[in-house]
Amino acid sequence: MIEILSKKLLEYYDENKRDLPWRMNPNPYRIWVSEIMLQQTRVSTVIPYYENFLDALPRVEDLARADEELLHKLWEGLGYYSRVRNMKRAAQQILEDHQGRLPESYEGLIQLQGIGPYTAGAIASIAFNKVVPAIDGNLLRIYSRLHCIEESIDLGRVKKEVFALVLEDISKDRPGDFNQALMDVGSSICLPKNPKCHICPIGEFCQAFKENRQRDFPLRKIKAVQKKENWTFIILEKRGKFLIKKRPPQGLLAGLWEFLPFFSHLKEEEVKILIKEKGYTFKTIKELDSSQHVFSHKIWNMKAYLVEVEDQSLVMEDMSSYDSFCWASPEEIKEIYPFSSAMGKYVKEVLSDNR
């Protein structure tokens, strides 16, 4: 049965595999970049980021020496910015400890900053043809259905159980293709809510399908309720430039830029008073549409005001002399300063010609 499952999966992959840029030239560095980007991000979203990233940083050496602001700009919109900062640290490890070449073994890869069991398995199997599973959410979902695993796939012991099951099934000749075939089945057939069991290449081996229980799996832990926070962002404009603030180097959205934040929802009159207290004289004030951004652990409910100020404010000049503040043109905001996707709606407003 094991050999038949592997054979059916690889036949499906050979006939239906997606044409993805990292599959056309699967060198270790490119596989690494793609796998980090693909974490919690759709393939269609990743492709242009992947191509831009490799255009700017085509080698491990380039990544190791890259300026953090450039890294954030290349990553802008993907979220989870610690991933790209960890990639830089890992690239430095590779230069210092591995002569600029990614380790070939699972054990060596997992020692690198930011590379966990899944990424190590993916790189080792795809780039180096090592017989090792790459256990991601797709694969956990597939195997929880294949074997009707009656425990949460979030549990460490369940992940170890699935690792052992995959290790039994994996092709010894084509482990990378086997892992990628499972990724493709998980992304297009064995879907979380509405699995397409009638076209699944390994449906005949699926216990959940046989029992008509495929929608019962996988089991998951109940997620903690996300904390809700209200924020107001004031977008100050002077002579066509905007005052932006850099977030601290640690914590949420570390090192990214944003407009001036206030931890509550402010009414327009409160904004006017605040601006006067800071020594500004404003020409116009406009409330923008509200926005919401969902993080893994909290939700931001945001309001924003676009405020054009007079040129004479000394407080503004003093504030913008600090490293964490600067005046930026729309072109600089677009090309140089990285903003989180939480600011996406308001960045678009700043870049719009219809303000």
Q: Over the stretch 79-101, which tens digit does the pLDDT of each residue have?
A: 889 999 999 999 999 999 999 99
pLDDT reported for residue 275: 86
* Predicted TM-score of the model (pTM): 0.84
User: Reduced to 3 states, what is the DSSP secondary structure of residue 241?
Assistant: strand
Q: Over the stretch 33-65, which tens digit does the pLDDT of each residue have?
A: 999 999 888 999 999 999 999 999 999 999 999
Peptide bond into 218 cis (omega under 30): yes
- DSSP assignment letter at 343: G
Q: Over the stretch 206-257, which tens digit does the pLDDT of each residue have?
A: 999 999 999 999 999 887 889 999 999 999 999 899 999 999 988 899 999 9
Give the CATH fold of the 2-216 domain.
Answer: Endonuclease III; domain 1 (1.10.340)
The model's confidence at residue 296, banded by pLDDT at 50, 70 and 90, is: confident
pLDDT reported for residue 276: 84
Known catalytic residue: 35? yes
State the average pLDDT for the chain. Answer: 92
pLDDT reported for residue 159: 95
pLDDT reported for residue 318: 45
What b-and-e string marks burial along 75-93, b requiring 16 or more CB atoms within 10 Å of the CB?
bbebbebebbbbbbebbbb
**φ, ψ at 230 (rounded to 5°):** -100, 130
What is the residue extent of each domain of the chain?
Answer: 2-216, 227-351
Rounded mean pLDDT, 175-203: 96
Rounded mean pLDDT, 324-353: 92
pLDDT reported for residue 279: 80
pLDDT reported for residue 322: 46
Q: What angle do CA 330, 332, 334 make, to 5 degrees?
A: 70
Residue pair 234/307 in contact (Cβ under 8 Å)? The answer is yes
pLDDT reported for residue 317: 46
Q: Specify the pairing of strand 257-258 against strand 298-309.
A: unpaired
Rounded mean pLDDT, 22-32: 93
Is 90 exceeded by the pLDDT of residue 189? yes
pLDDT reported for residue 210: 96
Residue pair 38/138 in contact (Cβ under 8 Å)? The answer is no
pLDDT reported for residue 320: 45
| Active-site choice (35, 76, 237, 258) | 35
pLDDT reported for residue 281: 85
Rounded mean pLDDT, 141-165: 96
- Token digits for 121? 């398995």
Residue pair 158/222 in contact (Cβ under 8 Å)? The answer is no
Domain covering 227-351: architecture: Alpha-Beta Complex (3.90)
pLDDT reported for residue 353: 64
pLDDT reported for residue 354: 58
